[in-house]
Amino acid sequence: MHRRKFFKQSAFATVGTMLIPSFLKAYESKHLGLNQPVGKTLVIVQLSGGNDGLNTVVPFRNDIYYRERPTIAIAPEKVLKLNDEIGFNPALEALKGLYDDGLVTVVNNVGYPNPDRSHFRSMDIWQTASDSDKYLTTGWLGRYLDANCQGNDCIAHRAIEVDDTLSLALKGQDLNGLALLDPKKLYNQTRSGLVAELSNIKPAAEVVASHPNVSYLYKTLAETASSAEIIYDKSKVTHTKTVYPASELGNRLKTVSELITSGVNTNVYYISISGFDTHINQPGQQERLLRQYAEAVAAFTKDLKTNGKLNDVLLMTFSEFGRRVKQNASNGTDHGTANNLFLIGGGLTPGRVFNEAPNLTNLDEGDLKYTVDFRSIYATLLRDWLKVDDQAVLGRQFETLKVVSRS
């Protein structure tokens, strides 16, 4: 805490003494000048709305599943089998290809104690990594930025959300991630209106001295303009040759891939797609979304392989909760609890089904019980993949999953 505070004050002092340009130039040149390997990259794909896990990874041998879902269950012969018990929804055909190549790990029954069935609250819990009875105002990836910021390396674009607005997950105490839908759009925003001119001028010295929030605003502005320029400069020279599906996720993963190959100093990317709140007529809608998801991820994986990055990038997909075991009266499903999630990439011990299939006989008020705390997944991503101190981010020790290859 003291170190952070010290940094905060010294950063403001720098702004206060009218040194913004050289202060920024210092880290720009550092990052532009060094051809250091960027190391490992984490990509998070959030499925908003509560994806129905039981129709994503189907327990095709389970009578209870078929009994509770008379009109929406997926017939055994259609399921893309992963083992004797479970298999993918047929819409995940492209993902099955990746699974067969050993690139996909399926983790079942992920959740947390005392689950909350509200979208907002449960997403809040996932994004802040809090207990369900605690309220945190910072996100886990924001705290990752806070904890790994040293000297001049404290830059917003170490974590990028491919979107117009920034999720709580990427907001830290001292640092925030950077939201951009595409590098050019952000760059243009920082060149329009007064933004460009203001990011080069200084507020009055006496105001800055007595008003830390003024420094904070100008610092945020200057860093945004600087990051936007760096990212735009780097990204405009890399254009992937891989064809991506023309879906929202396809476009966003394409942007991520181009940023990765451009050598931007970013370790974390975040994307969210929505539409998974399938209370009514679930099958058509969910299959459309799952197909889009699988095809976009397959294109992304192929692209990474072409660029020799497959072993350096890990993609994690989650949703804020799964859905009820029993379907509702509208051919849909209502909010539930524990869910499966996917880890995808070449750096994993050959992909597989990580743990036991959901137990449909031992339910909590009609909902699945979790066996893997989602923060164990985060701990795995932080400690084993990004090689950082997971406890500094999560506040306490969680067991990791032993799915990352030692390389």
Question: Which residues bind to another protein, rule: CB under 8 A?
Answer: 47-50, 119-121, 123-124, 133, 135, 137, 156, 163-168, 171, 176-180, 185, 189-190, 192-195, 197-198, 201-205, 207, 210-214, 216-218, 220-221, 223-224, 227, 272, 274-277, 279, 320
The answer to whether 221 touches 199, Cβ cutoff 8 Å, is: yes
For residue 91, the 8-state DSSP code is G
Least distance (Å) from another protein to the CB of residue 375? 18
- Minimum CB distance to another protein smaller for 37 or for 193: 193
- Minimum CB distance to another protein smaller for 161 or for 390: 161
Report the b/e string of 296-317 with b at 16+ CB within 10 A. Answer: bbbbbbbbbeebebbebbbbbb
Least distance (Å) from another protein to the CB of residue 20? 12
Least distance (Å) from another protein to the CB of residue 32? 20
Least distance (Å) from another protein to the CB of residue 207? 5
- Minimum CB distance to another protein smaller for 295 or for 320: 320
Least distance (Å) from another protein to the CB of residue 245? 19
- Minimum CB distance to another protein smaller for 71 or for 220: 220
Question: Which residues touch 354 (CB under 8 Å, ≥6 apart)?
Answer: 105, 106, 107, 108, 401, 403
- Minimum CB distance to another protein smaller for 83 or for 114: 114
- Minimum CB distance to another protein smaller for 219 or for 383: 219
Least distance (Å) from another protein to the CB of residue 360? 25
Rounded-to-integer distance, Cα 65 and Cα 98, Å: 26
The DSSP H or E segment spanning 304 is helix 282-306
Long-range contacts of 116-124 (CB under 8 A, 24+ apart): 117/321, 117/335, 117/336, 117/337, 118/335, 119/48, 119/49, 119/50, 119/277, 119/320, 119/335, 122/50, 122/320, 122/321, 123/48, 123/320, 124/168
The answer to whether 169 touches 142, Cβ cutoff 8 Å, is: yes
- Minimum CB distance to another protein smaller for 30 or for 121: 121
Rounded-to-integer distance, Cα 145 and Cα 216, Å: 17
Helix, strand or coil for residue 361?
coil
Least distance (Å) from another protein to the CB of residue 203? 6
CA 72 to chain centre: 29
- Minimum CB distance to another protein smaller for 5 or for 402: 5
Question: Which residues touch 66 (CB under 8 Å, ≥6 apart)?
Answer: 73
> Would you give the end-to-end CA distance of the chain in angstroms?
33
Least distance (Å) from another protein to the CB of residue 177? 8
